[in-house]
Amino acid sequence: MNKRQVLKSMGATLALSLVLTTAAAAQTVMRYAHVGAEGDIQYWYADEFAKRVNERSNGRLRVQVFPNSQLGGAQETVDGVRSGAITLAHHEFGSLANLMPEMGAFAAPFIYRDGAHAMAATDPQKSEIMKEMGERLAKEANVRIIGRLYRGARQMTAKKPIYSPADLAGERFRGVPLKLWTSMIKGMGAIPTPVEVAELPTALMTGMVIGQENPLTMINANRLYEVQTHVMLTAHMQNVLPVFINEKFWQSLSEEDRNLLLQIAAEVGEETLALGQKAEVELIDVLKGKGMTFITEKDGLKVDEFRKSVTTQVTADFPDWKPIMERIAAVK
């Protein structure tokens, strides 16, 4: 190889290196955190969201997912997104109430007619009440809601059959470590006992709590059938989770990339509604096959008593939510 060829080869190598370096420098990495375990719809959502963003951004964006509470529980996740240590995450609307109390109204028990209503009312691009509250959250707390996902209705489980709030009197029952859950569990008649999801199987196994409440997908994914015997189909919450992102990071993105994230968050979110509804039907037989007994209104489950007691307690504890809850309930 002569001198000219050597220089030409070195130039080509340098040019390629510069292209790769520039491409790497231009790529924006996003840390996505959540507390879900594999098999839960929320786990699928985050992975699918990341996959589509990585593919359709042509290398500009790369989402890294940290599931199973790897970056912390509810409070750490929300605080991380607010500070920017975590780019985006999903968790309960009740967790966002730590930043703006009124956000908890979107997680209020017995407020939604069904899953479709829950998804419509929490759509950050179409729901007027959600858009209004979301802009306030972005301005006041540096956190913006860009999507939502549906996990199914939350159902109660326990180590014994439960038919009414009276059956839970004096019993310690697990709640998500958030104020709304403390209020709701109290309304269910039990002693509220906050436990992070990562510690839940141990809490149930040791008898620290006799029961908990979650969608069937989570009950199956986290193998709670190994430490619980009964499922009460109260459907007290339509479990829709907000997907939220650091506002400062959001504003640093181009309009093209913001629109891409909104589009993907919306489309994957809508797919979770169908997945959640399908899973709710199929998992009853699956969990029965794993030894769980299901109790319904036909079996004497007093859902109306739970509804009245829980609604009374939550309304008393969060009186400022009433006008927001009325607007949420009115969404078509």
| pLDDT, tens only, 200-239 | 999 999 999 999 999 999 999 999 999 999 999 999 999 9
Is residue 12 in some structural domain?
Answer: no
Per-residue pLDDT band for 319 (boundaries 50, 70, 90) equals very high
| 244 within a domain of the structure (yes/no) | yes
Continuous segment of H or E residues that includes residue 268? helix 255-289
User: How many residues are recorded in the chain?
Assistant: 332
Domain count, the chain: 1
Q: Tens digit of pLDDT for each residue in 141-161?
A: 999 999 999 999 999 999 999
Q: Which of 318, 85, 83, 69 is nearest to 195 (CA)?
A: 69
Residue 170: which residues within 8 A CB-CB, separation 6 or more? 191
CA distance 104 to 122: 12
Question: 215 lies in a domain?
Answer: yes
Confidence of residue 3 (pLDDT cuts 50, 70, 90): very low
Q: At residue 43, what is the residue type? A: Y
The answer to the question of residue 6 being in a domain is no
Does the residue 8 lie in any domain? Answer: no
CATH code for the domain in which residue 43 is found: 3.40.190.170
Give the closest residue to 296 by CA, choosing from 215, 235, 233.
233
Q: How many CA atoms lie within 13 A of 28 on its CB side?
A: 15
Neighbours of 16 (CB within 10 A): 10
Summarize pLDDT for 28-37 with one digit per residue, the tens. 999 999 999 9
What are the two backbone dihedrals, phi and then psi, of residue 292, each rounded to the nearest 5 degrees? -85, 145
Q: How many CB atoms lie within 10 A of CB 191?
A: 15
With cut-offs at 50, 70 and 90, classify the pLDDT of residue 26: confident
Q: What are the pLDDT digits (tens) for 84-94? A: 999 999 999 99
pTM: 0.87
- 17 pLDDT band (50/70/90 cuts)? very low
Instruction: Give residue 316's domain range.
Output: 24-330
Rounded CA separation 215/227 (Å): 16
How is residue 275 written in tokens? 């997945």
Q: Is the predicted pLDDT of residue 22 greater than 70, yes or no?
A: no
Residue 15 domain-assigned (yes or no):
no
